[in-house]
Amino acid sequence: MKAHKSRFLKGKAIATKPIPANVPVTVLVEQYFQAYNAGRLGEACQLFTGRMLEKDVTVGMSLTGALTPAGLGGSCVVPLIENGFVDWIVSTGANLYHDTHFSIGRTLHKGTPFVDDRLLRKEGVIRIYDILFDYEVLLSTDDFFRTVMRNPEFQRRMGTAEMHYLMGKYVAERERVLGVKNASILAAAYRSGVPVYTSSPGDSSIGMNIAEASLAGFGVQIDVLRDVNETAALVLDAKRRGGKSGVLIFGGGSPKNFMLQTEPQIQEVLNIKEKGHDYFLQITDARPDTGGLSGATPSEAVSWGKVDPSMLPDTVVVYLDSTVAMPILTSYALARKKKRRLKRLYDRREEAMALLQREYEKASTRSR
C-alpha cells in the first residue's frame, strides 16, 4: 500500500553531505543553509535576488545599529548602492557619521570588549563593543562636518536627503584627495543619485555639529516634514509607474518605522488609495513579543497598511546579527544578479513630490 504523501512534505529533503573547503557563498546559502535562521537567511537571499531586484522594484533600505564602525558601509552598503541594488536609504545619523571616519583618513581598530573602560578613558580611546579608536577620530570628524556645514549652500532650510547629498559631494572629494576608494555611504549615494534620509537628524554627532553651527549664527535648518512627504512620494511614484516597492531592513528602530510609515502616510493621512509595500525583508535580533517596533513582524505591519496583505508570502524575517547577515546577503546578490540601472531617485524627488501633491488634492476634494 502506497503511503500518503502529505502536502507539508513537498520541501527539499534535508541534506547531510560534508561541506567542502572554501565553499562559495552561493553554494553555502543554497545547499547548506537549510533550517532555522540559516534557512531564513537563505530565503532572504532568494527573495532579495529573485523578486526584489527585478527592474520594476524600487528598493528602500534602512540601517540601524553600529554597522559602519564595523566596516560594513564600504564593504557592503557601497557595493549595493553602486550596483543599483538599493534605490533609497533611511539611516541613523550615527551610521553616516562613523562611516565618514574612513573617508577622511582615520582608522578604527579590532579590539576586545573585555577591557577596563576607565583605562580607555584615561588613554583617550573610544570603544564600540570590540571596536577601538582614538578620541581624535571623533574630534577630526566633528571638525570636518562643522567646516562643511558653514559653506554657503547649506545656509537655508532643506530636507535630510538634500543635506546628505551636499555632504556627499565633500566626502567624495576628500576621498579623491586622499586616494581612499569607495569608503563612504554618503559619497557613493552622491555619485549614484541615491537619496539618504535620517529619521531623527538631531540624534547623532552630525546633528550635534549642525546644532553648533546654529549657535554660531549659521542658517542651516533641517525640514523633517519635507522628509516625511518626500519618502512617501518616492513610494507612491514607484507604484504609479506600475512598479513595486520593497524594503530591506537591517535592525529596526526609528529608521525602520520611518521607511514603513510611508504607506500609512499615503493611505491613512493623505487619504490616497494604496495597498502597502510589496516586499518586506528584515534582519533583526529583536523579539516580537516585547512590543518594540524592531521586532514587529510583517504580518503585524499588514494591520497598519504598511505591507500589502496579498504579498505577505513575499516577506522574510531573519533573526540574526546584521553584521553576519549583511556580508552574506551582499555577496550572494553580487554573485547572482547583474548590475541594475540606477534609478537616481534623488534627481526625481521634485517630480515625485508634484505627483503626491496632485493625488493629495484629488483625495481631499473627494472627501469633502
Residue 367 has pLDDT above 70, yes or no: no
Q: What share of the chain is helix, strand, coil (3-state, %, to 5)?
A: 55, 15, 30
Residue 293 has pLDDT above 80, yes or no: no
Domain coordinates in residue numbering, the chain:
45-102+139-367
pLDDT at site 10: 85
Q: For residues 171-175, give the mean pLDDT.
A: 96
DSSP 64-114: -SS-GGGTHIIIIIHHHHHTTS-SEEEE-HHHHHHHHHHHTT---EE--S-
| Chain length of the chain | 368
Q: Model-level pTM?
A: 0.92
The beta strands (E) that lie in 204-277 are given as 221-222, 244-250
Give the three cell numbers for residue 326. 549583511
Q: For residues 251-262, give the mean pLDDT.
A: 92
pLDDT in tens, 214-244: 999 999 999 999 999 999 999 999 999 999 9
pLDDT in tens, 296-353: 666 666 666 666 666 667 788 899 999 999 999 999 999 999 999 999 999 999 999 9
Give the three cell numbers for residue 303. 494591520
- Average per-residue pLDDT for the chain: 92
CB-based contact 33:218 (threshold 8 Å):
no
Q: For residues 36-56, give the mean pLDDT.
A: 95
Give the three cell numbers for residue 95. 551610521
- 306 has catalytic annotation: yes
Query: How buried is 289 (Cβ within 10 angstroms: 0-12 exposed, 13-18 middle, 19+ buried)?
Result: exposed
pLDDT at site 149: 95
Residue 183 has pLDDT above 70, yes or no: yes
Q: For residues 59-78, give the mean pLDDT.
A: 96
Residue 245 has pLDDT above 60, yes or no: yes
CB-based contact 244:56 (threshold 8 Å):
yes
pLDDT in tens, 75-130: 999 999 999 999 999 999 999 999 999 999 999 999 999 999 999 999 999 999 99
Contacts of 264 (CB under 8 A, 6+ apart): 304, 305, 306
How far apart are the C-alpha atoms of 321 and 342, rounded to whole Å?
29
* Residue 341 dihedral angles phi and psi, to the nearest 5°: -65, 130
Identified catalytic residue from 306, 337, 339, 343: 306
Give the pLDDT band (50/70/90) at residue 365: confident
Instruction: Out of 3.40.50.300, 3.40.910.10, 3.30.70.20, 3.90.1150.180, select the CATH number for domain 45-102+139-367.
Output: 3.40.910.10
pLDDT at site 7: 85
pLDDT at site 11: 84
Query: Who has greater pLDDT, 9 or 339?
Result: 339
Single-letter amino acid code for the residue at 85: F
Q: For residues 264-277, give the mean pLDDT.
A: 93
